[in-house]
Every structure is written in C-alpha cells, then in structure tokens.
Amino acid sequence: MTDSFHCEQIPYSVLAAEYGTPLYVYSQQAMTAALNQYQQAFAALQPLICYAVKANSNLSILRHFARLGCGFDIVSRGELQRVLTAGGDAKNIIFSGVGKSCAEIEWALKQNIRCFNVESLPELERINTIAARLDKIAPISLRINPDVNAHTHPYISTGLKANKFGIAYQDAIAAYQLAATLPHLQITGIDCHIGSQLTDLSPLVEALERMLLLVDKLAALNIHLEHIDLGGGVGIVYQNENVPDLVTYAAAVKRLLAGRHLQLMLEPGRSLIGNAGTLLTTVEYIKHGEEKNFVVVDAAMNDLMRPSLYQAYHAIVNASQTSADELTADVVGPICESGDFLAKDRTIAAKAGDLLLIKSTGAYASSMASNYNTRCRAAEVLVNGAEYKLIRQRENLTDLLSPEKVCL
C-alpha cells in the first residue's frame, strides 16, 4: 500500500503515535529505487557511485547504501568515522572539502581511503608533508572549478569563479604539474562539482567537456589520469520541477568518454535520499494575525533549515481527517526567530492536533538539524515494506546538557 498517507505499508499516523513528532521517516524502498535508476542509466560505464554523506548521515542509511555497493563522498573526519562504523569500505571513500585539517588528513591516510579531492595548492602541499611524515603515498585528485553556471540557488552553486570550491580552471595545468613534483602524492584523477539541485543536466555535460580538454592537455604532458569524478548535483522534484533525465545524461557521458580509459565516479546525495524522507509534525495552534494567518507546528527551522536558508519549497500534506476550513497561512515553528518558517503563504486546511507531512525531507534536513533554543533533535525511523525500525532515538534534555559544566 502506497499513498500520500503511508510510508510504504505503514500509515504515518501509526509512526507519529508511537514515536511522537517531530519525526523523520524514510522509505528504504525509495532509496533502493533511486540508486537503481543510476545503476541502470550508467550500467555501460560501471561507475563507482559514491553517496554524498552530507545529504543524510544516519548510520542505518549509510549501511544500506554500503550493502548495495556504494562508495562514499565525505567532507569531514566525522563523516569518515560514520562510514567506517556503518561498514563502508575505506578503499571506496573519497574525501572532499576545502578545509581539511592536518588531523583529518592524517587519520584519513591511516585508514587508506581511496582518494583526496584536493581543492587548493596549500592543501596539496599539506597532504604531501603529512604523507611524508607517515611514510605513505597519498592518492589525490584535483577538484577543478570549470566555471559553468549550474543555474541553481546561489548558496548551492559551487562551480563558478566566485565560489570557494576547487582550483580555477586556468590554473589546473600548473596545479597538476606541481602535484607531479611532490614525491608523496600519487595523481589518480580529476574532479568537479558545479552545484546542487540541478534539474537541467546540460551544465553537467558542459562541465565534462571542459574537464576532458584538461585531461588531454595533461596526457600531452605525460600526466595520465585513472578516473574522472563528475560530482553530484542531480536534483529532485520538490514542487513542479522537471524530472532530471538520467538516461540522457548517462548517454552523453558515455559518448564523451568513449575510447578513454577513465573510470567514472559520481557523487549523488540528494537524488538518492531526498524524496525518500518525510518530516512529520503536529499542529499546535492556528493563529489569525492582522495581516497573516499562521499554522504553528512543533517542527521548526532547527529540524528543517532549507526553507529559511534557501527559500526552498516543500509540499505539506495534512494526514488527519480534518474538519477545518482551508486558509492561506505561513506554516511556522516555535523558535524565537521570524525566519522560523517551513512554508509561506500556503493554502492548507488544518486545526490544532492535526498531523502534517512535510515531503521530500530525506536530504539536508536531519543532517542540518541543530539544538537552537535548546530543542532536542527529532527521532528517525526507517520503513521497509510492513516493517519499521527506530534508527535514531529522540534526544532528551539530559543528552543536551550533559557535555556542559557549571563552573561559576
């Protein structure tokens, strides 16, 4: 049974009654189906699909993707520890991010990860120095900024000249030449990532074309690469976006890589988990203001930051048999900030006590959650058919206060 009021065969109301709200709920079958779409579209290229851990780093979700053969894209030591704890293979972990510390690099080298995606010349030299001290050879790929406009929200655009990520395209050859002189580095590949929530995938193809020009120039300089990493960024449907065409994208990639001995790597995150998640929340009050109406719920910006941060849209469905009349209202939480909203000017029928479902919250929801206003982070549940499991228990105030000490 699958409809808007069920996660697979389990009614959302059952989960809310058992675990309370706010509550993140994930469909295991939806995650598997999303990965299958990548595997089928790119089957001819046999890519290493590295799940982007930042999208949702719950250990059970990581274990699920590990069991399905995924590698992992990480951006911190904490994410590396999560992947290893969940049973991920270090040999299939790539370490991205602009600010890798000495301690993070050292620990990742000791775990024998597959590759560092290097984002600056100082990072190149830092990795070489640490590898020398450990008597290791560090596998590296350079993240090149292809200056391709992804046409996405500015906060999730990563491939333009003004972005902090990657090495400038015009500096790429010199950066590779420098890397080739550093004795404790092994150049293995080239990497790019131009942005997130792309529904038109043509900028990804343009980025690949620009990267392959560099690959050919490097080969002429006797710098030969083993892999090309096209990053992630494939979007999902939140409202009325076009469904990204993975088959057409894969066909274009296959055509451009024909005759080249480059292993393909991909770093999907949102597109594997985003539509698999739903945030459950209960209506506390209906408040009629002078200029606006408000549906006040028990979830807040600390549970779902995207609307406040990115002006993002999430569909909201009332899962209760409500007798309320429709109204136009902002759906807001209890946090003491005017920016604490989950939806603006939404037409909705709701009354106090109703259960609302905030859709497409599998990615960048729980992983971005905070304890602002000393709010406990929500529980998480994974559903598989007629079975469900608690995969993160709800925090309590003891959890929140125990690391702190009253010293005055």
- The CATH number of residue 208's host domain is 3.20.20.10
pLDDT for 324 equals 87
Question: What band does 34 get if pLDDT is binned at 50, 70 and 90?
Answer: very high
Q: Return the residue matching tokens 């009253």.
A: 406
pLDDT at 134 over 90: yes
* Mean pLDDT across 338-342: 96
Q: Is residue 408 part of a domain?
A: no
Spacing of C-alpha 315 from chain mean position = 19
Q: Is 99 annotated as a binding residue?
A: no
Q: Do 165 and 20 fall into the same domain?
A: no
Q: Give pLDDT, residue 253.
A: 96
Mean pLDDT, rounded, for 95-112: 97
Domain limit, last residue, from 226, 255, 270? 270
Domain boundary residue, one of 270, 301, 332: 270
Strand duo 167-168 + 138-145: pairing: parallel
Q: By the 8 A CB rule, do 293 and 329 touch? A: yes
What pLDDT is attached to residue 212?
96
Question: Would the pLDDT of 200 be above 90?
Answer: no
> Known binder of ligand: residue 274?
no
Same-domain status, 220 and 278: no
The confidence score (pLDDT) of residue 163 equals 65
Q: Is 326 annotated as a binding residue?
A: no
Q: Give me the count of residues in the chain.
A: 408
* Confidence category of residue 162, pLDDT binned at 50, 70, 90: low
Q: What value does the mean pLDDT of the chain take?
A: 94
Tens of pLDDT along 355-381? 999 999 999 999 999 999 999 999 999
Q: Are 300 and 192 within one domain?
A: no
340 and 256 fall within a common domain: no
Q: Would the annotation count 337 as a binding residue? A: yes
Q: Is 63 annotated as a binding residue?
A: no
Boundary of a domain, candidates 270, 298, 332: 270
Read off the pTM. 0.94
With cut-offs at 50, 70 and 90, classify the pLDDT of residue 348: very high
The larger pLDDT score, comparing residue 193 to residue 142, is at 142
Same domain, 54 and 138: yes
What pLDDT does 151 receive? Answer: 54
Same domain, yes or no, for 251 and 292? no
Would you say residue 407 lies in a domain?
no
**304 in Cβ contact with 332 (< 8 Å):** no
Q: Please indicate, yes or no, whether residues 218 and 193 belong to a single structural domain of this protein.
A: yes
Ligand-binding annotation for 267, yes or no, is: yes
In a domain, residue 321? The reply is: yes
The more confident residue out of 301 and 4 is 301
For residues 262 and 330, membership in a common domain is answered with: no
Q: Residue 381, SS3?
A: strand
Residue 159: what pLDDT?
Answer: 43
Give yes or no: residues 207 and 334 share one domain: no
Check which CATH number belongs to the domain holding 311 and give it: 2.40.37.10
Choosing from 115, 336, 376, 407, which is the catalytic residue? Answer: 336
CB neighbours of 80 closer than 8 A, spacing ≥ 6?
74, 93, 95, 104, 107, 108, 111, 113
Is 160 a residue whose pLDDT tops 70?
Answer: no
Q: What integer is the mean pLDDT of 84-112?
A: 97
Same-domain status, 120 and 202? yes
In the prediction, which pLDDT does 161 show? 55
Please confirm, yes or no, whether 50 is among the known catalytic residues: no
3-state DSSP assignment of residue 291: coil
Its domain, for residue 287, covers 6-24+274-401
Q: Is 395 annotated as a binding residue?
A: no
Euclidean distance between CA atoms 268 and 233, whole angstroms = 7
306 labeled binding residue: yes
Q: Name the band, by pLDDT with cuts 50, 70 and 90, for residue 3.
A: low
pLDDT digits (tens, 9 = 90+) for 281-311: 999 999 998 899 999 999 999 999 999 998 9
Q: What is the dihedral of CA 380, 384, 386, 390, to 10 degrees?
A: -20
Q: Is residue 45 part of a domain?
A: yes
Q: Is 268 labelled as part of a ligand binding site?
A: yes
The answer to whether residue 406 is domain-embedded is: no
> In 3-state terms, what secondary structure has residue 24?
strand
Domain count, the chain: 2
Task: Flag whether 263 is in a domain.
Answer: yes
Domain assignment of residue 351, yes or no: yes
Q: Same domain for 232 and 286?
A: no
By percentage, how much of the chain surpasses pLDDT 90?
Answer: 87
Percentage, residues of the chain above pLDDT 70: 95
CA distance 314 to 362: 11
Q: In this structure, are 216 and 83 located in the same domain? A: yes
Please give the Cα distance from 175 to 158 (Å, whole number).
19
